[in-house]
Amino acid sequence: MNKLSFLALAAIMAGCCCNIDDVKPFGTTKFGEKASLYTLKSPDGLTLEITDFGGRLVRCWAPDREGKLADVTLGWNTVGEYETLGFSMGTLIGRYGNRIADGKFTLDGKVWQLPINETNPVPRHCNLHGGPDGWDAKVWKASEYDGKRLVLTLVSPDGDMGFPGTVTMKVTYTVLPQNIWRIEYEATTDKPTVINPTHHSYWNLAGEASGNVLDQLLVVNADKYTQTDAGLIPTVDAAVDGTGFDFRKARPIGSMAEWMAAQESLKPMDNWYDHNFVLNGKGSKLAAEMSDPKSGRVLEVWTTEPCMQMYGAQNMTTKLPAKEKGKNLCQFAGVALETQHYPDSPNHPEFPSTVLRPGETFRSTTEYRFKTR
């Protein structure tokens, strides 16, 4: 029985109402694994296309104030493009999102060495997003699917990319009424380890390949951001007051470009955004609101995580293709808003812990709420 037939039979046996036409082949990875593409639909218009290859969000159709749909996330059409073009485009990140200094950490007195893999556009001595073949490189198992909910699972073996412990990870994508996309993370381990999953979607609320997002508005619910060294490793938290990191009130993403360009400390980030914001509040809270005045689209990001990384796509170029034939991306073509724990937490005891031990369950929830005004 092939994969599609099995999914169809499983859906019938589970009593769900999914249409097998909503599951399509999506190519083969460099490891020879076959990927599929799933469609999730909200009754209010939001439509997602998600592949089990890295749990990537490939397309996100959201309505504007007149009800017109546009694909508001960046992505590509083939597995090969995702593998070769990079940028962690639209993918699940794990075992550890963001950077670990020198690819090294100590846990219970033992030193663990991870691959050093950030080399583009400039070399940095760190482990980035779990390593060169992290969870984004895997085809996850689609264990449940009904057209509104997709459950992806992955068993990451002991020693995977140098991390200790066999981790079982379950990620549930659910599309809800009122155009809400919910991501629920759940993980267990058989040995002490560290874990920091996130999702690396890029957003352009005017539509993919419509130009840059510098005039789109952003609010970030954070009084502090984390300064870094030249290798983008956190040093200390700093107040956003009087800086280009103050998004506590809505302003265009590009409105502080001159301030950013003048900062010597930001040269390693191309004088742009690749920083951790320390979110205000506990529990589930509003992390950010992005909006496009022209279309009226609004995206709210809600999360249980303590932090959010903002990456401004400053390294994208017009050489990168878009999904729509004949179109290309550009510098600042989107913005990634990655809910997370602090980068390099295992090496900073002052940061909230990312250690997961046997008998414990890691849980985290992030919602992307699409609205109009």
H helices then E strands: how many in the chain?
3, 28
- Which residues, 6+ apart, have CB-to-CB distance to 186 below 8 Å? 169, 170, 171, 172, 361, 362, 363
- In whole angstroms, give the CA distance from residue 290 to residue 250: 8
- In whole angstroms, give the CA distance from residue 320 to residue 45: 29
Q: Is residue 105 within 8 Å of residue 195, measured between CB atoms?
A: no
Diameter of the chain measured on Cα atoms: 62
Residue 338 is a catalytic residue: yes
The per-residue DSSP string of 53-122 comes to BTT-EEEEEEE-TTS-EEE-B---SSHHHHHHH-TTTT-EE-SB-SEEETTEEEETTEEEE----B-SSS
Residue 129 is a catalytic residue: no
With CA atoms as reference, report the closest residue to 308 among 166, 230, 203: 203
Pick the catalytic residue from 199, 200, 275, 341. Answer: 200
Pick the catalytic residue from 49, 208, 338, 367. Answer: 338
The catalytic residues are 200, 338
